[in-house]
Structure formats: C-alpha cells, structure tokens
C-alpha cells in the first residue's frame, strides 16, 4: 500500500494526482451541501428520533437530521436501482431484454433508474416534509420537496463527475464520505458522555470504557475487511492445456465470501422502512403507529427477527441473481473448461450451486452479525442513539474503500506495465 502511495507522488503520475484532488474537492462540496438547511424550515423542523431513518441519515452525513438540501442524498437512486434490478428478472420483458443488450441496454437502464430515482425523491421528500415540518401549507411542502429533489439530482451529478474525472465510483464514494463524516462526531459524543460529564471518580472508568469501545470498533473493522476480501477459489482445467501448464498457471473461478456486498442489508432496511413510512403518512392514526412501533421496527423482537431473516433471504436472492450457476456451467463448457473431478453439465451446475450456498450462508451470517450489533448495542446501552458500533455504515465504508483502492492499484499497474514495454522497445 505504501509503495502505491509513493508512486502517486512521482512526476509521471501528475494527472492521477489531479484526479484524486478532484475527487476530494467534489466530496468537500457534498459535505458543504449537507450543512445548508432547506430555506424557510430552520425553526420549524422537528426530526426528533429518526429511528429506522438513522441509516439514511448516516449515509447522508447527518443531512437528514438537519433537513439540509442533501437530506435525501442518493437514497432514492438506490431504491430505484433495487426496483430496476428486480424488474430485470423476467418480471417485465422489456427490462429483461435491456439487460441482455450489453452496454446499450445498460445505458438505457441507467437512464430509467435515474428518472425513477428523481420521481421517488420527490415523493420521499414530500413525505419527510409533512412528517418533520410542524407548520406549512401544501404549497410549502411541495416547494420543500422540489428543493430536496434538486439536492438529490445534484448529488447524482456530483457522483457522475467523480466517476468521469476522479477515482472510484462516484455515488458509492459520496455515500462513504457521508458515513465517514459522522464518525468523528460519534467519538466526540462518546467521549463527552463517558468522560466529560462524569464525576472525577468515574472519569478513569469512563476512559477505560472509551478505549474498550475503540478497540472493539477497530476489531469489527478488521473483521469486515477480512470478510470482504475472503474468497473461495474453484480450480478450473481447460482441455487445450497440458497437465504441466495446468500446474504452472492455475486457473480458477473466485467466489467472494460476501458476493453481494452490503445490498442484502440495504434491501432488508428498505423492507422494514415501508411500514414506518406508512405510519409517518398516517401519523394521526395512533393504532397504526402503535402497531408499527411495537412489532415492525428493528429494536422490537419481531422486527429484529424479520430484519435478520430478510438479510439471509436477500443474500441468497441477490447472489443467485448475479451469479447464475447454469450460465457459469454453460460458459465453462463453451470455453472447453471443466472443474477437475466434476463432470461438465448438470454436475458442474449442482457443484457451483453447493459452493454458492455454502459461501452465501457464511457471508449472510457475517452480514447479519455486523448489521445486528448496533441494534443489540442500542438495546442494552444507555448511550445516545447516534453512538453505535458496527452496522451497515461500516460495511459500506470498507466495501467502497477496497473498491477505490483496487481501481487505483490497477491504474498504477497498467502505467508501470506500459512504461516497461516502452523501455523494452527502445
């Protein structure tokens, strides 16, 4: 890693440094936007305890709690992406055909996703303005919704600029930047609650608890990195390769332990958010709100069970949607490849299914543990709700960071390879 950092600051990689600086500049603009409150609502906003919306607040760098112009962030786009991904599974033939048309189809799907995301941003913005703003007419709520929708559109544009002229996936980096921005404030609040506000006698014990919290946080971070980088490799032999060449250059299919990333957790969170959003719309109906708060939020027993089960269900669903065993088996056969000891065709397909089931079970269990820790921690802790350990935010930060690092490493390897070839030609 340090070698790559050293390479970045060489004169030959001046353009790469500019791309990195450009990325940080865009992220700074995003963070600046999270501090700008929607005009006209500063004194009338009452976000209170966000509950299930805390994940969206963290992903937006605390923008929702302040009701800033970036309060929605890119969450409507994520919801739209989930919907379009589901529609591609032969639910609507048009979407299935687009998914098979290569780059042209992907471009069309991306445009549809963005339009759907903007529509969802307006609807979501109106619901939040009605729920959080104490006073205001219908026209006021519509104007607030337009501002929030414009904020989402600007976030998407900033993400596109990073993808085009910076390093990494822009939208993912914006989400990561929002999460990272909340971490220092969380540790400051933790220090204040455990140390500053305590008596002199309890101060030493508070410091010990603070250090213990930091150690556990780092341990979970290391564990998440391990989960994200671990993979199961299935060896592959090709008919046109001899045994000796097979021994020298091993080919394999890599299956990540957590092939779906953080998507199952986001899916599960979105699923549980639906009843809560309905309760927000019908906030005057106490029976609906009481039922949702008692049975369908993550800090209730039934809500937590639904949350964990949903993570497993979505993990299996998303894994087999992305990695289709039959297609993998057919592609191997077409390229003259096979798994040693396994017959091509149906046996290969069943073997891949077994491997995916095993890796997905372990990966989903690890996701459920990391995502469930904050819920359990909040149930037994007397600390503020904005202080948590583990969680979806940590999964997103690690996943996006590794993706950006791999892209940067690949860029440096390509440049070194091109430089070596030029020297050999001379």
Instruction: Please give the pLDDT value at position 425.
Output: 60
| Tens of pLDDT, residues 265-316 | 877 877 777 777 777 666 666 677 778 777 777 778 888 898 899 899 888 8
The yes-or-no verdict on residue 188 having pLDDT over 80 is yes
Max avg pLDDT among 146-155, 270-279, 303-312, 407-416: 146-155
User: Helices marked H in 344-391 — which ranges?
Assistant: 346-380
Of 166 and 290, more confident: 166
DSSP string, 172-216: HHHHHHHHHHHHHHHHHHHHIIIIITS-HHHHHHHHHHHHHHHHH
Question: How many percent of the chain have pLDDT more than 70?
Answer: 87
The yes-or-no verdict on residue 130 having pLDDT over 60 is yes
359's CB contacts (< 8 A; 6+ apart) are 232, 255, 256, 257, 259
The pLDDT-based confidence of 30 (bands split at 50, 70, 90) is very high
Q: Which of 159, 163, 183 is nearest to 27 (CA)?
A: 159
CATH code: domain 1-166 is 1.10.3370.10
Q: Which two tokens stand for residue 170?
A: 């822009």
Q: Summarize the confidence of residues 117-126 as an average pLDDT.
A: 91
* Helix, strand or coil, per DSSP, at residue 40: coil
Burial class of residue 278 (count of CB atoms within 10 Å of its CB; 0-12, 13-18, 19+): middle
Q: Please tell me the pTM assigned to this model.
A: 0.80
Please give, one letter per residue, the 3-state secondary structure of 320-336: HHHCCHHHHHHHHHHCC
* CB distance 195 to 206 below 8 Å: yes
| Tens of pLDDT, residues 42-92 | 666 666 556 566 767 777 777 888 888 998 888 888 888 878 877 877 677
The pLDDT-based confidence of 121 (bands split at 50, 70, 90) is very high
Least confident interval from 138-142, 208-212, 299-303: 299-303
Least confident interval from 82-96, 209-223, 326-340: 82-96
Of 241 and 82, more confident: 82
Q: Summarize the confidence of residues 314-332 as an average pLDDT.
A: 85
Compute the distance between CA of residue 357 and CA of residue 363 in angstroms, rounded to an integer: 10
Q: Summarize the confidence of residues 152-167 as an average pLDDT.
A: 91
Of 385 and 215, more confident: 215
Instruction: Please give the pLDDT value at position 395.
Output: 83
Q: Summarize the confidence of residues 161-182 as an average pLDDT.
A: 87
Distances (CA, A) of 190 to 52, 183, 198, 207, 280: 21, 11, 12, 10, 30
The pLDDT-based confidence of 211 (bands split at 50, 70, 90) is very high
270's CB contacts (< 8 A; 6+ apart) are 79, 82
* Helix, strand or coil, per DSSP, at residue 259: coil
Burial class of residue 339 (count of CB atoms within 10 Å of its CB; 0-12, 13-18, 19+): buried
The yes-or-no verdict on residue 178 having pLDDT over 90 is no
7's CB contacts (< 8 A; 6+ apart) are 13, 412, 416
The yes-or-no verdict on residue 244 having pLDDT over 50 is no
- 301-322 helix and 346-380 helix, angle to the nearest 10 degrees: 150
E strands in 220-356: 231-238, 251-256, 337-338
Instruction: Count Cβ atoms below 10 Å from residue 120 Cβ, excluding itself.
Output: 20
The pLDDT-based confidence of 246 (bands split at 50, 70, 90) is very low
Q: Which two tokens stand for residue 292?
A: 């949702």
Extents of the domains making up the chain: 1-166, 180-426
Instruction: Count Cβ atoms below 10 Å from residue 122 Cβ, excluding itself.
Output: 18
User: Helices marked H in 34-169 — which ranges?
Assistant: 54-59, 63-66, 75-87, 93-99, 102-132, 138-165
Q: What is the average pLDDT score of the chain?
A: 82
The yes-or-no verdict on residue 426 having pLDDT over 70 is no
Cα 392 → chain centroid = 7
Q: C-alpha angle 270/50/41, rounded to 5°?
A: 115
Tell me, yes or no, if the two domains 1-166 and 180-426 fold the same way: yes
For the chain, state the CA radius of gyration: 24
398 φ/ψ sector (left φ>0, alpha ψ -120 to 50, else beta):
alpha
| Tens of pLDDT, residues 11-29 | 777 888 888 899 999 999 9
- Kind and range of the H or E run holding 247: helix 243-248
* Share of the chain residues as helix, strand and coil, in percent rounded to the nearest 5: 75, 5, 20
Instruction: Please give the pLDDT value at position 148.
Output: 93
* CB distance 326 to 350 below 8 Å: no
Q: Which two tokens stand for residue 360?
A: 């997905």
CATH code: domain 180-426 is 1.10.3370.10
Q: Which of 36, 113, 127, 121 is nearest to 72 (CA)?
A: 121
């Amino acid at each position: 890693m340090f070698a790559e950092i050293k390479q970045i600051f060489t004169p030959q990689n001046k353009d790469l440094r500019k791309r990195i600086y450009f990325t940080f500049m865009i992220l700074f603009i995003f963070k600046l936007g999270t501090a700008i409150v929607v005009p006209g609502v500063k004194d009338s906003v009452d976000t209170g305890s966000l509950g299930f919306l805390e994940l969206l607040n963290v992903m937006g760098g605390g923008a929702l709690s302040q009701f800033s112009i970036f309060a929605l962030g890119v969450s409507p786009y994520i919801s739209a992406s989930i919907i379009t991904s589901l529609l591609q599974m032969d639910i609507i033939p048009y979407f299935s055909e687009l998914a098979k048309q290569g780059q042209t189809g992907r471009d069309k799907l991306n445009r549809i996703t963005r339009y759907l995301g903007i529509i969802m941003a307006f609807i979501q913005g109106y619901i939040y303005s009605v729920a959080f703003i104490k006073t205001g007419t219908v026209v006021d709520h519509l104007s607030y919704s337009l501002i929030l929708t414009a904020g989402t559109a600007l976030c998407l544009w900033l993400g596109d600029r990073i993808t085009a002229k910076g390093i990494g996936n822009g939208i993912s980096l914006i989400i990561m930047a929002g999460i990272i921005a909340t971490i220092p404030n969380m540790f400051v609040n933790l220090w204040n609650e455990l140390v500053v506000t305590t008596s002199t006698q309890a101060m030493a014990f508070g410091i010990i608890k603070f250090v213990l919290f930091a150690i556990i946080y780092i341990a979970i971070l290391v564990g998440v990195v391990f989960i994200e980088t671990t993979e199961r490799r299935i060896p592959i032999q090709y008919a046109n390769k001899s045994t000796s060449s097979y021994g020298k250059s091993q080919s394999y299919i890599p299956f990540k332990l957590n092939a779906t990333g953080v998507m199952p957790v986001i899916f599960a969170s979105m699923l549980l958010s639906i009843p809560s959003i309905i309760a927000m719309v019908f906030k005057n109906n106490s029976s609906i709100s009481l039922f949702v708060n008692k049975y369908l939020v993550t800090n209730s027993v039934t809500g937590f069970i639904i949350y964990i089960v949903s993570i497993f269900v979505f993990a299996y669903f998303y894994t087999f949607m992305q990695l289709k065993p039959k297609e993998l088996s057919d592609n191997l056969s077409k390229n003259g490849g096979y798994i040693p000891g396994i017959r091509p065709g149906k046996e290969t397909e069943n073997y891949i299914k077994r491997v995916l089931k095993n890796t997905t079970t372990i990966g989903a269990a690890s996701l459920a543990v990391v995502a469930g820790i904050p819920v359990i921690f909040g149930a037994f802790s007397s600390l503020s709700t904005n202080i948590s350990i583990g969680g979806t935010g940590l999964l997103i930060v690690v996943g996006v960071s590794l993706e950006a690092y791999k892209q940067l490493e690949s860029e440096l390897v390509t440049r070194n390879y091109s430089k070596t070839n030029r020297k050999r030609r001379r």
